[in-house]
Amino acid sequence: MANKHVLIIGAGLGGLCAAIKLQESGFTFTIVEKLDKVGGTWAQNTYPGVACDVPVSLYQFSFAPSVAWSSTYPQGGEIQDYAEEITDRYQLRPNIHLADEAVSAVWDEDSCTWTLTTQSGKTFTGDALIGALGQLNRPNWPDIPGLEAFEGPKLHSAAWDHSVDMKGKKVGIVGSAASAVQIIPEIAEEAAHLTVFQRSPNWVVPRRDVKTSPQEVALMMTKPDIAMELGAANRKLIYDNADYFFWQVFEWTEEGRAAYTKIATDHLHAQIKDPDMRAQLTPDYPVGCRRILITDDFYPALCRDDVSLVCEGPSSIEAKGARTSDGALHEFDIMVFATGFETTGWRWSVDVVGQNDQHLNAVWADGPEAYLGITIADFPNLFVLYGPNTNLGHNAITFMLERQVEYAVKSLQGLVQKEARAMAPSRAAQTAFNDKLQADLAKTVWADPHCNSWYKTEDGKITQNWSSHTRAYADAVAEVKFEDYELV
């Protein structure tokens, strides 16, 4: 049992983190990745302007820091490069199976193993399964009548077609949230005219990005040990600010909501001078209810003479463009859909089958639940990264991934020590955890009845976000409580 083999689905940052830590702990692994490269969401999302909206001091692994960043908020391509670099640094490539999507993973009760089958028909067998599929990678196409009727190129932010030239074209973009605010300034520079369809405005705060020149990087590399020390200190500063202060926006303290409402309102007033446009861009829901957007160039892009803001989504799509509720037809050469990802549905592309022929997608049909967001009753030796209720609105998901991977490794080590073959949380433990979780979430801004977002289901259950700051999550997963598990 000491030489357990672990199957990992996904070679994004979560899957790579798992592979590195399993390897360091003496476990073998195989990663199966549907794309032809590592990087996950950063390999798939390549739209113009794609960047991280978390400072890179946090959005990298604590055990694999880098100084090769061009700014505080690096472009997506740089994070993709980071994924490639750590893959080589830790010599993971011999154990990565690329360009072959996992289609099923089935638990065998007799052998206590998982068998993973890919689209090409290959099979892999392991003692444990780590699901590192992520959430922000499955394009969500809006349900607009006539969507297929449009005759021009139709692009989605999560599946960008770089062969489409925007220069001199009339472009319409549906959406004004996290991906859209990065895309819009880029398209506005090229298109003859850009029309932005906004269903509802978002709270926006300044980005204040700081560029780092190649010369500065070269200077830091003259004393790499000092550079790393300063990087660690900066990481702690940003982390503490996010976890102690920014978190209060979502915890819904009086001070938190007042401070960030003021920050966002001041940003809006500083960049938008027209009072009518200000009104169009002012949300009617509390700050923190939805993802707070971090950008400096979105509002200025909307002020351009060649950019129009339409404060509703299209009522229908036609061959030449989009029609709005007033009957007007907005004609375009190209349409872009920055309409996000399939998230709260939690419809995994992999058919995961646990004990008693239970299919995970069916178990999660009415809303996903997991113990600590990592393990699931009736699915032995399955560990989920970035699972239900582990998303954040205030800090870096890489912190959560590290804690989840540490928990999975400790669990496998515990199985070896106990000479057990499999573990799954008891139904009672999972229910107790989620009951407490939902009670805590009921005190956050996301529970506001006026708050509709991808963080929760249509019936109001919050399935995405953790209920507290990240220090509380780290405490919750610091030790594996085997009394909460059923062992075989």
Final residue in a domain of this structure, among 337, 352, 382: 337
Number of independent structural domains in the chain = 2
pLDDT digits (tens, 9 = 90+) for 220-238: 999 999 999 999 999 999 9
Within this chain, do residues 457 and 364 fall inside the same structural domain, yes or no? yes
pLDDT given at position 68 = 84
Of 131, 125, 103, 121, nearest in space to 112 by CA: 125
Within this chain, do residues 246 and 310 fall inside the same structural domain, yes or no? yes
Within this chain, do residues 328 and 371 fall inside the same structural domain, yes or no? no
Q: Using pLDDT thresholds of 50, 70 and 90, give the confidence band for residue 136.
A: low
Within this chain, do residues 430 and 462 fall inside the same structural domain, yes or no? yes
Q: Tell me the Ramachandran region of residue 313: left when phi exceeds 0, alpha when psi lies from -120 to 50, beta otherwise.
A: beta
pLDDT given at position 344 = 56
**Domain ranges, residue 395:** 5-138+342-487
Residue 189 lies in a domain: yes
Within this chain, do residues 162 and 260 fall inside the same structural domain, yes or no? yes
Final residue in a domain of this structure, among 337, 354, 374: 337
Contact predicate 194/306, CB 8 Å: yes
Question: Can you tell me which residue has the tokens 């444990």?
Answer: 128
Percentages of the chain per state (helix, strand, coil), in multiples of 5: 35, 20, 45
377, with CB counted inside 10 A (0-12, 13-18, 19+), is: buried
Residue 256 lies in a domain: yes
pLDDT exceeds cutoff 80 at 346? no
Residue 402 lies in a domain: yes
pLDDT given at position 3 = 81
**What number is the average pLDDT over the span 245-261?**
97
pLDDT-above-70 percentage for the chain: 99
143 HSE (CA, 13 A, CB side): 1
Of 292, 195, 315, nearest in space to 242 by CA: 292
Question: Can you tell me which residue has the tokens 């912190």?
Answer: 399
Residue 220 lies in a domain: no
pLDDT-above-90 percentage for the chain: 92
How far is CA 10 from each of CA 37, 138, 296, 372, 426, rounded to the nearest angstrom?
A: 10, 13, 33, 20, 27
Residue 224 lies in a domain: no
- Residue 476 and residue 91: Cα distance in Å, rounded? 31
Final residue in a domain of this structure, among 289, 311, 337: 337
Residue 348 lies in a domain: yes
Within this chain, do residues 167 and 300 fall inside the same structural domain, yes or no? yes
pLDDT given at position 175 = 96
Question: Can you tell me which residue has the tokens 């995961």?
Answer: 352
- Residue 331 and residue 335: Cα distance in Å, rounded? 10
Looking at per-residue pLDDT, the higher value among 221 and 302 belongs to 302
pLDDT digits (tens, 9 = 90+) for 50-94: 999 999 999 999 999 998 899 999 899 999 999 999 999 999 999
CA angle 406, 407, 408 (to 5 degrees): 90
pLDDT digits (tens, 9 = 90+) for 446-463: 999 888 888 988 888 999
Question: Can you tell me which residue has the tokens 């938008």?
Answer: 272
pLDDT given at position 67 = 83
- Of 213-217, 402-406, 413-417, the range with the lowest mean pLDDT is 213-217
Within this chain, do residues 246 and 382 fall inside the same structural domain, yes or no? no
**What number is the average pLDDT over the span 339-365?**
89
- Of 111-120, 221-230, 370-379, 416-425, the range with the lowest mean pLDDT is 221-230
Within this chain, do residues 10 and 73 fall inside the same structural domain, yes or no? yes
pLDDT exceeds cutoff 80 at 381? yes
Residue 438 lies in a domain: yes
pLDDT exceeds cutoff 80 at 342? no
- Residue 325 and residue 312: Cα distance in Å, rounded? 8
**What number is the average pLDDT over the span 163-175?**
98
Within this chain, do residues 324 and 180 fall inside the same structural domain, yes or no? yes
Contact predicate 6/412, CB 8 Å: yes
- Residue 116 and residue 320: Cα distance in Å, rounded? 45
Within this chain, do residues 333 and 352 fall inside the same structural domain, yes or no? no
Residue 229 lies in a domain: no
pLDDT digits (tens, 9 = 90+) for 200-217: 999 999 999 999 999 999
Within this chain, do residues 260 and 359 fall inside the same structural domain, yes or no? no
pLDDT given at position 285 = 95
Question: Can you tell me which residue has the tokens 């990481």?
Answer: 235
Q: Using pLDDT thresholds of 50, 70 and 90, give the confidence band for residue 1.
A: very low
pLDDT exceeds cutoff 70 at 2? no
Within this chain, do residues 284 and 415 fall inside the same structural domain, yes or no? no
- Residue 385 and residue 17: Cα distance in Å, rounded? 10
**In CATH, what number is assigned to the domain containing residue 112?**
3.50.50.60
Tokens encoding 127: 């003692």
Single-letter code of the amino acid located at 461: K
- Of 150-154, 295-299, 454-458, the range with the lowest mean pLDDT is 454-458
